[in-house]
Structure 1
Amino acid sequence: MFRKIIFWSHLVVGIATGLVIFVLALTGVILTYEMQIAALFDPKVSAPSENAQMLTTDEILAIAKPVFEDQTATLNYYSDASKPLTVAAGRHEMKMIDPYSGAFIEAGSNPTENFFHLAEDLHRNLAMGFDSTGATLVKVSNLAFLFIIISGAYLWLPRKWKWPFLRQKIFFVKMPTAKARDFNWHHVFSFWVLIPLVAVVGTGVIISYPWANDLAFSAAGLEAPMGGGRGKGMWARSSGGGSSNLPVEQLVSYQSILDKAKTVESNWKTISIIVPSADNAKNVDILVDTGNGKQGATQQTVTYSRETGDVVEVKGPDEMATPTQALKRYLRFLHSGEVYGIVGQTLAGIASLASLFLVWTGFALAWRRLISPLFRKKAVPTN
């Protein structure tokens, strides 16, 4: 009786939310390698002439600082010399700069921007806007999908633990009918993507609902962060170290400090100068990243004195943020898999792709169970 209740709940919830889940899975597949694909089409920079020199960091900062006045901004250098510099305040505010001319580069010049923006809007709110009916449908469907996964895991358990039955739920097997094939596919896909799918959908629920967010942090023994997470950058917290008594022109240049930061990690991918608000700030924080920008474990902050150029402090990944901030970041980028780099992105993408097959085979099985019998001709009794 209990199994029957779970089965029908699984079926009804799946039918009710299947179309929205399909959209979420499809856009999830599209967004899998967004970062890498967008980078391919990002504007490139090159020296205008053979003897051309890049502007110094101090010259770049003089151009960049006024753009994000009264905000904590970062100036980002990349190991890939063909990438323009970027000045950013948080995830959603960024401008690119040509390091040779100091000119700002229009972000809209990347042809993938509008495409991925639409995909993200569909993924978050069915392109209906923040706090819209579409956003509510996405949240409800995320929660429903988590229930479908959990109930499906229970229903997957075979009644007979014998290899012939188990084999059909673990491996693709040639089946005699379309119904049997869909049954086989539905179980096989759900088995192989269960763990990454729980991670992707579970974090989606945590992102969607404050109560789920509170529950996740409570389970970790932490207090849930306040606010919606649209700050000016999780690690962008310039210490500054107070004001120096030296004249600004006597302080160590940012270019000299950048040159030193480049020797901290030979395999650095990004070096970010967390721009102090005061021109005569005593210290400056430099974030050195050897990962993709989303992995806290690959980052460290080195604080330099602008009076001497010496290292004042080094903070590793565990010291850069509070446990609450670290967990918040982890959950956010676990949803996309980016917290585990290209491998995590791939697993998240595979889980999304498998979800498309789960929805399709689920609808097909439901159709055959509920709808097809209505069109079958009833046998006419003979006298």
Structure 2
Amino acid sequence: MRLTLHNVIFWPHLVAGVLAGLIIAVMSFTGVALAFEHQILDWAERDTRKVQAPAPDAPRLPLDEVIARVRAARPETPPTGVTVYPEPDTVVLVSTGRDSGVYVDPYTGEVREWGAQGWRSFFHLMEEWHRWLGAQGDNRPVGKALTGASNFIFLLLGVTGLYLWWPRKWTWRSVRPSLWFRRGLKGKARDWNWHNVIGFWLLPVLIVLTATAMVISYKWASNLVFTSMGETPPAASGPGAPPVVKVAEPAPGTPPLPLEALLVEARKQTPAWENITLRLGGGGPPRGNAPAQAQGEGRPKGQGPRKEGPTAVTFAIREQDGWPLFASTQVSVDPFTAQVLRREAFSDISPAGQVRRWLRFLHTGEALGVPGQLVAALGSLGGLFLVWTGFALSWRRFLAWRRARATVPAPESTEPSV
């Protein structure tokens, strides 16, 4: 076989695709399944999330009371966050973990389980396979390493595939077979046509999906976004970490104000709000029923509670018709005076921080709303077909190689006959 640049690129392309193909197929399939998770859950839980207001101007329970109802009903899973909505007929969402939570009637305090448990179990399973290949516990780092490496290989396959597709002569006759599906093809010709057409049209989408996945999967890739733009990478990994704002030490014995009073002040900063989220246990002064870590438990023996001083309570506020669609405004409020100490909109974030957040939501397509999610889903579906047609082409090449070997005559013996 004559050594050419085409062969130097083709054979690693083929071998890498065969080695990582199954994992790429798993991530592509689960990517399609997860594409419209939020819309499906919203539809499936449309009744569970609705409440009946006693009267048009009926008072709502204070935020502290809502949280207290959840702690009483679920003492084994303390609240980690709470989200309120402006609609009078909508529940309050109280999170009790990354993938768990309850709904609370803001008028009666009734605690409801999440609905659509079947859908939630399905999406949870899809996410586990998408991120960790279904690995659990201590095996998750191994699963994450495999998906991260396979995603990187998929990115390289896209780049090398573009070179392999590139016509030697740019004529309509040479380019047309790679631009659209041809009827009546079978076997190798069909697989080659599908592989090239899907790869050509979806290559930009696949490069975005795999490149953004690199930023999500690897700390060094995330840091590269900041260093390449002349900024210092943040200590916290990933976008959306709330700012820590220190407050002045109050007089001894001064109790913090109710969360409802802080919420009222934060809400004034963005009148046209869509929802407001407060993370619990991660800031502000300790409260009587706060989670264990907020009280200093779980620290190494002999160290006692943290002595960092009180911090502001930070609310994440999503605006109606805001842009970008995933953006939120962080409002930090002094828990003792209800004074707004900091207001950080998306436009106030550093350029690299904005790019990092865009990359996170471009990976799922949510950055561009439903059209973006549809494009991301099509990209993932195309990845499945690329794996299938790539395997088919490789298998046909292997069979052809075996047939060629079988037809080569054995060399004649030079030993004298007895």
The 3-state SS of whatever aligns with 1:47 is coil
Equivalent residue for 2:213, pick from 178, 183, 204 = 204
Task: Quote how far apart the aligned CAs of 1:258 are.
Answer: 3.4
**Residue 166 (str. 1) matches residue 172 (str. 2):** no
Output one character per residue of 1:81-118: Cα deviation in whole Å (capped at 9) or x when no partner: 55421234885564432212324333476321211111
Unaligned runs of 5+ in 1: none
Counterpart selection for 1:254 from 254, 260, 270: 260
What letter is aligned with 1:361? T
Tell me whether 1:351 sits opposite 2:354 in the alignment. Answer: no
1:29 maps to 2:37: no
The answer to whether the 8 A contact 1:240-1:284 is kept is no
Change beyond 3 A, Cα 1:55–1:186: same
- Answering whether residue 322 of structure 2 is matched by residue 299 of structure 1, we say no
Structure number with greater Rg is 2
Match of residue 118 from structure 1: 125
Task: List runs of 5+ in structure 2 lacking aligned partners.
Answer: 288-309, 410-418
Shift of 1:72: 10
1:90-129 matched pairs, under 5 angstroms: 91-92=98-99, 94-107=101-114, 110-129=117-136
Deviation at 1:286, TM superposition (A): 4.0
Tell me what 1:342 maps to: 370
Shift of 1:44: 2.2
Q: Secondary structure at the match of 2:364?
A: coil
AA aligned to 1:290 is: E
SS in structure 1 at match of 2:206: helix
Aligned in 2, Cα 1:54/1:191: closer, same or farther, shift over 3 Å? same
Matched, 1:270 2:275: yes
Alignment-mate amino acid for residue 165 of structure 2: W
Q: Distance in 2 between matches of 1:202 and 1:126?
A: 19
Q: Name the CA distance, whole Å, in 2 between partners of 1:96 and 1:292.
A: 25
How far apart are the structure 1 equivalents of 2:322 and 2:38? Answer: 10
CA change 1:191–1:228 in 2 (3 A) is same
Q: How does 1:137-156 map to 2 (within 5 A)?
A: 137-156=146-165
Residues 186 and 362 of structure 1 are in contact (CA less than 8 Å); yes or no, is this contact kept in structure 2?
yes
Alignment size in residue pairs: 374
Cα 1:236–1:73, aligned 2, differ >3 Å: closer, same or farther?
Answer: farther
| 3-state SS of paired residue (1:318) | helix
Q: Report 1:1-383 matches (<5 A).
A: 1-42=4-45, 43-47=48-52, 53-63=59-69, 74-79=81-86, 81-88=88-95, 91-92=98-99, 94-107=101-114, 110-129=117-136, 130-131=139-140, 133-174=142-183, 176-226=185-235, 234-237=240-243, 239=245, 241-242=247-248, 254=260, 258=264, 261=267, 264-266=270-272, 268-273=273-278, 276-277=284-285, 285-290=314-319, 298-302=327-331, 314-319=343-348, 321=349, 325-372=353-400, 374=402
3-state SS of paired residue (2:230): coil
Measured in 2, the distance between the counterparts of 1:23 and 1:292 equals: 35
In the TM superposition, what is the alpha-carbon distance from 1:148 to its structure 2 partner? 0.6
Is the Cα–Cα contact under 8 Å of residues 296 and 317 in structure 1 kept in the other structure?
Answer: no
Structure 1 pair 158–3 and aligned structure 2 pair: CA distance change class (3 A): same
**Partner secondary structure for residue 35 of structure 2:** coil
TM-score between both structures, scaled by the size of structure 2: 0.73
Counterpart residue identity of residue 50, structure 2: V
SS of equivalent residue, structure 2 residue 358: helix
Q: How much does 1:30 deviate?
A: 0.4
Q: Do 1:85 and 1:98's aligned partners in 2 also have CA atoms closer than 8 Å?
A: yes
CA distance in 1, matches of 2:242, 2:203: 35
Go from structure 1 to structure 2 and tell me whether the alpha carbon gap of 1:48 and 1:12 turns closer, same or farther (over 3 Å shift): same
Letter of the structure 2 residue corresponding to residue 258 of structure 1: V
**Does structure 1 retain, via aligned residues, the 8 Å contact 2:255–2:336?**
no
Provide the TM-score with structure 1 as the length reference: 0.79
